[in-house]
Amino acid sequence: MQKFYQRLKENQKERARCAFLVLHFGVLAVLLFLARPLLDTTAADREWSIHFLFPCLLACIILTTVVSFCRFAAEPDQKPKPRYVGWKQPILMLANAAYLFATLEFVTNSQFREMKWYYALLNIGVIFVLSIFVSLFLNSIRRAMIFMNIFYFCMSLVFYYVYLFRGEAFQLIDLYSIATAADVVGGYKFEITGEIVTSFITMMLVVRLWLQSREYRFARKTRNKILLRVAAAALMLGTYLAYMNLNWNAEFGVISDLWNPAKTYRQYGTTVGFTAVAKYMRLTPPDGYSKDEVTAIADTSEKETKTEDLRKDNADSVTPVNIIAIMNESWFDYRSVGDPQTSESYMPFLDSLTENIIKGHTLTCTKGGGTAKTEYEFLTGNSCKRFPGMVPYVSYFTHSQYSLVTTLKDQGYQAIAMHPNKATNWKRSTAYRFLDFDDFISIDQFSDTAKRYRGMISDQANYEKIVETYENKEPGSPFFLFDVTMQNHSGYTNRYFQADINCNGYDSDEADQYFSLLKLSDEAISYLIRYFQQVDEPTMIIMFGDHSPKLPDAFETWIAGDAYQNLSVEDQEKFYGTPFFIWTNYSMKSESNVWISTNYLSSYALSLTGLELTPYNEYLLDLREKMPALNHLGFLASDGTWYRWNDSDAPEEDLEYERQYECLQYNELIDKKDRDDSFFTISGEKDEE
C-alpha cells in the first residue's frame, strides 16, 4: 500500500487515473440512486421482489470498485507485455457472450423468461462467434470485448426504441433508411426504463473490468497480423455463404415470421431472430416463375379481361385535365374498428361530402409505419405482400419502373411529385427518377413561414402549395400531381401542441393529440375541395391514408374490444384499412363503404376516366373482381369472406390467381432483361433507361 501511495504522490498520470476511477464509480452510484424508482417499477412489472434490482446493482458497483482499485494498487509501474491467447480467454469470451445475450433480451424482450433454453444457447453461440470475428480483426481480446459490450448496449436501445415508436421490430433493411429515421426522430419522446438503466450500469461495470484486464493477442508481428485478418475474412465469407445458402434456421426450429419479426425475436431471441429475418432480404422469384409463364399469364389476361366493356365505359366518362393524388400521412378512421367516442367529430367535412365522391377503405400492407410501401403500391399497382420488412424504393429500385406516372405521361400529362420533407427520405429522389416524374417538390421549396404543427408542415400549407403549383402550370394542359403529406406523422407526445379533441372513455394524451390532428386534416381537405370546386378544368382528387398511426397497444385493445392478436382476421384487417376517397368537380356516380386495396386504387381511379388503360391496369381490375382486397395478412374473396393466405379452406383458385399476380410483379420490378414491356405500357415500347 505504501508503494501505491508513493506512485500517486510522484506520478501525475497515476493520480489522474485514480481520479477517473473514483469519478467512474461515483457517477454510477449516483445514477443508481437517482434511478431507483425506475428500478422498483421494473422489478414490480416483472413480478420480482421490489427490492431486488437495487441492492444487486449496488453490490455489483461496490464489488467492481474494490476489484478495480485492488488491481490498480497492485499494478506495476510498467504495464506487462501482451500475452498470447490461451485456454482461459475463450471461456471468458463465452461468459461475456452469455451476459450480452441476457442484457439484450432484458431490455427488449418482455417474454425473455419464456424462451426455451436451447434457443438461449443458440443466441449465446451466435454472439460468441461474432466475438471471435471481432477479436481476430482487432487482434485483441480486450478491445474486442469492450467493443462488443458497448455495441450490444447501443443495439438494445435501437431495438427497444424502434419497436416502441414504430410498432415494428428493427431489421437490417432499416439501415438503408437511417437518414429517414434521423429526420423524424425529434417527434418522439424517449422514455428511460429501469431495464435500460440496469443495462447501462452493468455495461459500464463490465467495460471497466475489461479495461483493467491483461491484454491477450493472437499475433504480434505485422506479417502474422495480416495473415490473421485474411484468414478471419475468409472465415467470415465461409460463414456468410453457409448462413445464406444452408437451411440452418429450419434445422434449429427457427421459423421466421417475416411480417411480424418482433414475434420471431421474442420467441427465438433477438440475435438469432434478427439474423434469421435478415436472411430473407433477397427477393426470390415466385414458384413457377419464368419468362414463358409471364407471357402465358399476360396472354390469358388479355383474352379474359373485359377490355371492350372497359373501353365502352370509359368512353362515356369525363377525362380530367387535373389528377391530384394525395397519400395522407397516418390518416386513419378508428370508427371502422370501434367507437372512439370523441368529444367532437374529427372528420365533419369529409362526412358531409355525398356528391361526386367515392368513399371507403383501402387495405394496406403496413401498420404504424412503412409509408413508402403504400406509396409504392398505389403508384405501381404491385402489392407489398412479397416484401416483408422491405421497401422496394430502398431495396429494389435499380432501373426504370412502370407506374401510374408512365401511364399518364404517355397520354400527355405533366407529372410532379411533392413531399414536405427531405427528398432523400426513403430514397425518394432516386425512386421518383426511376418512376419518371418530371419534377419533385420537397421541403426545400416550402417557405420558412409555412404553417407547421409539431415542427412538421401542416396539411393546410401542403395543399396551399398544391394550389400554387396548379396555378403556375399552363392552363388546359394535363396535370398530374402526387403528394405525400407530413402533418400527422407520429409520435403524438409533443407538449407544445394543444389537443382540442378528447377521447372520452380512454385517458390518453397521445390519442387526444392524434384525433386533434385529424380534425386539422379535415379542415385542410375542406380548403382543397372548396378551391377546386370553383375550378373550370375537370379535376379528380384521390386521397388515401398510408397506414394507421402508432398509438399505444392499450388504446388499440380498448377500441377493438380485445388484444389485436386475439382478433379474427376480418377484425385485424380493419387496422390496415385506411380511409380513401375519389372526388371530382364534375358529375360522377357516388358510392360509399367501398373496400379495396391500395394496389388496385390507381387502376380503379383510371377506370373512372376516359383515359386509356394499360393491359396491367385491366388485369388488376379483373383481379379485383375475384379478390376485392388483399394484403400480407390475407384477402377478401368475391363472396365477402376474409381468409388468411395459409387458411386450409382458402379457395385454391384464388391462391393461384395470387401466385400469377406475384409472377407479373416480379417481372416488372426485378426482371429487367425479360420484362414484358407491352403488358405494362400503353405504347408497348421498351424503356432503355
d(CA 235, CA 141): 18
**pLDDT recorded at residue 396:** 76
When mean pLDDT is compared across 1-5, 269-273, 553-557, the lowest value belongs to 1-5
Q: Predicted confidence band at 569 (pLDDT cuts at 50, 70, 90)?
A: very high
User: Which carries the bigger pLDDT value, residue 689 or residue 582?
Assistant: 582
**What are the CA-CA distances from residue 586 to residues 433, 535, 589, 611 (Å)?**
32, 10, 10, 16
Position 645 scores a pLDDT of 92
* Three-class HEC string of 16-51: HHHHHHHHHHHHHHHHHHHCHHHHHHHHHHCCCCCC
Question: What was the pLDDT predicted at 590?
Answer: 94
Considering the chain, what is the average pLDDT of its residues?
A: 85
Range of lowest pLDDT (108-122, 458-472, 570-584): 108-122
pLDDT of residue 65 exceeding 80: no
Output 626 or 671, whichever has higher pLDDT: 626
Least confident among 172-186, 188-202, 454-468 = 172-186
pLDDT at residue 532, as a whole number: 97
pLDDT digits (tens, 9 = 90+) for 245-280: 777 777 788 877 665 778 888 889 999 988 887 777
Question: Pick the residue with more confidence: 314 or 392?
Answer: 392
User: Does 467 have pLDDT greater than 70?
Assistant: yes
* Domain ranges for the chain: 1-79, 86-281, 318-612
Of the chain, the percentage scoring pLDDT greater than 70 comes to 85
pLDDT at 665: 92
d(CA 602, CA 583): 13
Task: Please give the pLDDT value at position 392.
Answer: 82
Continuous segment of H or E residues that includes residue 146: helix 141-166
- How far apart CA 484 and CA 420 sit, in angstroms, is 8
* C-alpha cell belonging to residue 260: 411480424
DSSP 281: G
Q: Among positive and negative, which fits the CA dihedral 583, 586, 588, 590?
A: positive
Res. 686: pLDDT tops 50: no
Amino acid occupying residue 30: V
User: What is the spatial distance between Cα 330 and Cα 489, in angstroms, rounded to a whole number?
Assistant: 6
Asked if the model's pLDDT at residue 507 lies above 60, the reply is yes
Q: Is the pLDDT confidence value at 45 over 60?
A: no
d(CA 387, CA 237): 26
| Residue 106: HSE in the Cβ half-sphere, 13 Å Cα cutoff | 22
Nearest to 144 by CA among 85, 197, 199: 85
- Give, as one character, the DSSP assignment of residue 335: G
When mean pLDDT is compared across 395-399, 452-456, 500-504, 639-643, the lowest value belongs to: 395-399
pLDDT (mean) for 452-476: 95
Q: Give the length of the chain.
A: 689
DSSP for residue 564:
G
Cell of 418: 411533392
**pLDDT of res. 78:** 52
Closest of 445, 529, 517 to residue 486, by C-alpha: 517
CB contact at 8 A, 532 and 514:
no
List, in order, residues 6 or more apart from 254 with CB less than 8 Å away.
119, 122, 264, 268, 272, 273, 276
- C-alpha cell, 197: 438503466
Q: What is the pLDDT of residue 307?
A: 47
Phi-psi region of 552 (alpha: psi -120 to 50; beta: other; left: phi over 0): beta
pLDDT at 689 over 50: no
The pLDDT assigned to 311 comes to 47
Closest listed residue to residue 426, CA positions, set 179, 613, 74: 179
Name the more confident of 27 and 473. 473
pLDDT of residue 166: 66
What percent of the chain is predicted at pLDDT more than 90?
A: 49
Q: Is the model's pLDDT at 363 over the cut of 60?
A: yes
Q: Can you give the pLDDT at residue 173?
A: 67
Residue 143 pLDDT > 60: yes
More confident residue, 417 or 673: 417
**Residue 71 confidence (pLDDT) above 80:** no
The CATH classification number of 318-612 equals 3.40.720.10
Work out the average pLDDT over 432-440. Answer: 93
Nine cell digits for residue 679: 403488358
Cis peptide before 491 (omega within 30 of 0): yes
Write down the pLDDT at residue 96.
Answer: 93
Is the confidence at residue 458, as pLDDT, over 70?
yes
Does 441 score more than 50 pLDDT? yes
- Helices 117-138 and 88-108 cross at an angle (nearest 10°) of 120
pLDDT of residue 44: 47
> Which spans in 450-508 are helix H?
459-471
Pairwise CA distance, residues 45 & 30, whole Å: 24
For residue 681, give the amino acid letter.
Answer: T
**pLDDT at 226 > cutoff 90:** no
Task: Pick the more confident residue, 57 or 657.
Answer: 657
The reported pLDDT for the residue numbered 179 is 63
Write out pLDDT tens, residues 278-337: 777 667 788 889 999 999 999 888 776 654 555 455 556 789 999 999 999 999 999 999
Higher-pLDDT residue of 583, 396 = 583
100/204 Cα distance (integer angstroms): 13
Arithmetic mean of pLDDT, 520-547: 97
Radius of gyration, alpha carbons of the chain:
29
Q: For residues 465 and 421, is the Cβ–Cβ distance under 8 A? A: no
Residue with the larger pLDDT of the pair 476 and 89: 476
What confidence tier does 657 reach under pLDDT thresholds 50, 70, 90? very high
pLDDT of residue 6: 60
Instruction: Answer whether residue 72 shows pLDDT above 70.
Output: no
Greater confidence (353 vs 424) lies with 353
Helix locations, 370-458, DSSP H: 371-380, 392-395, 404-409, 428-434
Average pLDDT rounded to a whole number, residues 134-142: 88
* Closest by Cα among 387, 326, 336 to 361: 336
644 near 633, Cβ under 8 Å?
yes
**Would you place residue 566 in the very low, low, confident or very high pLDDT band (cuts 50, 70, 90)?**
very high
**C-alpha to C-alpha distance for 599 and 632, rounded to whole angstroms:** 12
User: How many C-beta atoms lie closer than 10 Å to residue 584's C-beta?
Assistant: 23
pLDDT above 60 (res 49): no
CA 603 to CA 185: how far, in whole Å? 35
Q: What is the mean pLDDT of residues 670-677?
A: 87
User: Would you say 442 and 421 are in contact if contact means Cβ atoms under 8 Å apart?
Assistant: yes
The strand order across the sheet containing 634-636 reads: 629-630, 634-636, 642-644
Contact 372, 329 (CB under 8 A): no
Strands (E) in 111-254, as ranges, are: 216-217
The reported pLDDT for the residue numbered 444 is 92
Residue in 431, 432, 491 with CA at minimum distance from that of residue 456: 491
